[in-house]
Amino acid sequence: MAQFEEYKDRFQYARLEREDGILQLTLHSDGGTLQWGAGPHTELVEVFHAVGTDPETKVVIMTGVGDGFTGPAGSSDTVPRRTPAQWDPTYWEGKHLLGNLLNIEVPVIAAVNGPALRHSELPLLSDIVLAAPHTTFQDSGHFMSGLTPGDGMHII
């Protein structure tokens, strides 16, 4: 079982605050909108696991920072060039990213503050989704890069 004081300051891409059992999980990159890449893809697996195993959390509010929830917009120029063996960790992380989010046994509320351009399945798989009027949901990291969605977007 995770203890909040042990994990709350451990993450680069998630700011965690808790008061009266309400945990606010704010996704960000250097204080701005979360920019997906290898770092967040790896780290959020651990974030969701820690949050999901903390018995003192009664509800989770997941939100973003700045003008968007997640980014960046993708293009065919941003296709990662990897061998099949190099894709293996990304595949593993993708499965556990969703599994660990869905294993959080308390209500998860997504407060989507703007466009969710990457991994928009994360807020959409929350128990409650509240979105700003200018929010859009997109998979800008797969189709336009010639990749098949397989780490969460395929579910949505």
Place of tokens 């790896």: 42
Which residues sit opposite 68 in a β-bridge? 65
Question: Whole-angstrom Cα distance, residue 146 to residue 152?
Answer: 16
Q: What is the radius of gyration, based on Cα positions, of the chain?
A: 15
Q: Which residue in 6, 19, 93, 121 is the catalytic one?
A: 121
Render 85-137 in DSSP notation, one character per residue: HHHHHHHHHHHHHHHHHHT--S-EEEEE-S-B-S-THHHHTSSEEEE-TT--B
121 assigned to active site: yes
Q: Mind telling me the catalytic residues?
A: 121
